[in-house]
Structure 1
Amino acid sequence: MIMHLLWYSNNIFSTVRRNTLHIARIFSTTSIIPDKIDVASMTDKDLELYKLYRPERVIPPMRGIDLIKSSRYSKGMAFNLYERQYLGIHGLLPPAFMTEEQQAYRIISKLREQPNDLARYIQLDGLQI
């Protein structure tokens, strides 16, 4: 159990290091911890670590198109079907799902295909909200 918590805490810290400009991105609208964590059988030290490193579920204060336009809460196409329906954005996004890692890979691949700096600048400028 302690190894799982340590792996999980290292994963969060690496996410924070990657997204230093957008620390709020480590928070999710869905739970990323496995459903079956037996808190009752944890030792006091394990319980303290769990409480310290558990992810917080964030419910955005906005819905619909405002949520999509918000750079703090929008995950692009990474919203799953349940999140899209709950947050009122079902139908406002394409009917496909991509993780944030897949979206980043797609953008970087297209960026590397650009023939010159001006084309890369235009593509990067189009990413800003």
Structure 2
Amino acid sequence: MVDVTYNSDLHFEHTLWTSELTFWGGELKSLENRLNELISHWTDKEVLTKLEHYLDEFNLQSNIVRDIQKSIQQHEINILDHTPNGSESMDIPRVKEHLKLRHKMEAQREIYGNLKKDFFLFSSENL
């Protein structure tokens, strides 16, 4: 039996990822706003250094979110451009590209989750 990957399955996963990334983007904006408020109120250099570190990390994460969103959009276009008329199954190069995106999303979930956990731990201990 040959496994078949359908365009609709890839599109569905893209839709889920896009929703997740959009949520992260909004969350990151809120976190950045909160950090800017905290930075303006603190004078302790050690705390300020750590807050600025988190601000830099959240800005980096915002850029990564935009990059992944762009990759998803490009992959959607690539799928449409390389799908034979009437075919609902995907060719191997497109599936491999999708698997790379999936791995990137999974890794990013872990990185982002750990960053938030570290920030909230720091906040609860210091602010």
User: TM-score, structure 1 length as denominator?
Assistant: 0.28
Which structure has the larger Rg?
Answer: 2
Question: What TM-score do the two structures reach when normalised by structure 2?
Answer: 0.29
Higher helix share: 2
